[in-house]
Amino acid sequence: MNTQIKLAKRPKGLPEKENFAFEEGPVPSPESGQVLIQTIYVSVDPYMRGRMEDTKSYVEPFQVGKVIDGGVVGKVVESKSEDIEEGNYVIGHLGWQEYSVAEASTVRVIDKNLAPLSSYLGVLGMPGLTAYFGMTDIGQPKEGETVVVSGAAGAVGMIAGQIAKIHGARVVGLAGTDDKVQYLKDKAGFDEAINYKTTQDLHSALKEACPNGVDVYFDNVGGHISDAVYPLLNDFARIPQCGAISSYNKGGDDTGPRIQTYMVKSRVRLQGFIVSDYAKEFDQGAKHLGTWLSEGKLVYKETINEGFENIPDAFLGLFEGKNIGKQLIKVAEE
């Protein structure tokens, strides 16, 4: 049988278990040009929360009653394609289900001897590339500059901060637990890290950690964390606006201190971006990330929950900060 997870109803605020429906159906059969894929790793990502809303965005909303989809690594168990063989491992945009049929042209064969299968959904995949292009193209950190990263212990933030270090910057991370703060300083090479949940006066703590002000603010979270960073921005600072997870479950408009005065006074450039804007350059980005990994300049971390039935929980855990590094679910043995 093929267990699937569908969107049962659209959430209001933080999604709950009742927003997801588990259903069983037969394992599908591939037709000419298609492959049958057994799911091994499922990626859960904050942007999926936006897809649960029925609103226009850069990606189509999930449909109520339909299988939820996202990044998946799996094994080809049956092939009716000349391009992909049975036994190949592939990555693709597939359903939250144990087996998927896909056109061979829509998935990419990956090599488990080159890198662990899970890393193709993390450091070498969408989150790693997001960090790479956001930091190098928009952030453009320079030797001696100060870079602040919010959501710093997550899949994107952890890599973004290390890329800034590779470019010679002083890097300060913001994260939600002491363990994460410790990891960033001890393992990921951040110069300083702050637990934004336990720090009484975040602005003062940041000021102390950034005595020369902030030249690049790689923002994953928005909200009151960003409010504490804006007054510290130096002249000609850059803000790659990667995400705003603090507002994803709020519904309606999120308001806070107005930022325009800081932007004008310090001639700040704030640019939102979507990783797919850089699709034509993905190979080049992945090559850089792979080289830094092999040279030991980049480390990465994954939180891997086991069991298909735990996919919704792992997704919900993103909004409680349960993950460190990339959150994945292992559904079947490699």
Ligand X SMILES: NC(=O)c1ccc[n+]([C@@H]2O[C@H](COP(=O)([O-])OP(=O)(O)OC[C@H]3O[C@@H](n4cnc5c(N)ncnc54)[C@H](OP(=O)(O)O)[C@@H]3O)[C@@H](O)[C@H]2O)c1
Q: How far is the CB of 99 from ligand X (least distance, A)?
A: 26
Nearer to ligand X, 92 or 161 (CB): 161
Nearer to ligand X, 30 or 325 (CB): 325
CB of 156 to ligand X, least distance (A): 3
Report helix, strand or coil for 333.
Answer: coil
| Shortest-Cβ-distance residue relative to ligand X | 154
The residue (of 7 and 123) whose beta carbon lies closer to ligand X is: 123
Rounded to a whole number of angstroms, the minimum distance from the CB of residue 303 to ligand X is 8
Please give the full DSSP string across 90-126, using - where no structure is assigned: EEEEEESBSEEEEEGGGSEEE-TTTS-GGGGGTTTSH
Minimum CB distance to ligand X, residue 328 (Å): 10
* Whole-number Å distance between alpha carbons of 141 and 230: 17
Rounded-to-integer distance, Cα 187 and Cα 300, Å: 9
Instruction: Write out the DSSP string of 23-45.
Output: EEEPPP---TTEEEEEEEEEE--
Structure tokens at 180: 């994460």
Q: Which is nearer to ligand X, 101 or 172 (CB)?
A: 172
Backbone angles phi, psi at 23, to 5 degrees: -135, 150
- Can you give the binding site for ligand X, defined by CB under 6 A? 45-47, 127, 130, 151, 153-157, 175-177, 180, 220-221, 223, 225, 242-246, 273-275, 318-319, 321, 323, 327
Virtual torsion, Cα 157, 162, 166, 169, nearest 10 deg: 70
Least Å distance, CB 32 to ligand X, is: 35
Taking a C-beta distance cutoff of 8 angstroms, is the pair 224, 246 a contact? yes
Cβ proximity to ligand X: between 139 and 243 the closer is: 243
Please, where are the H alpha helices in the chain?
47-51, 126-133, 155-166, 178-186, 202-209, 223-229, 260-265, 282-294, 311-317
State which residue, 30 or 151, has the beta carbon closest to ligand X.
151
Considering the complex, state which of residue 35 and residue 124 has its C-beta at the smaller distance from ligand X: 124
Least spacing, CB of residue 257 vs ligand X, in Å? 16
Quick one: residue 160, left, alpha or beta (phi over 0 = left, psi -120 to 50 = alpha)?
Answer: alpha
CB of 42 to ligand X, least distance (A): 14
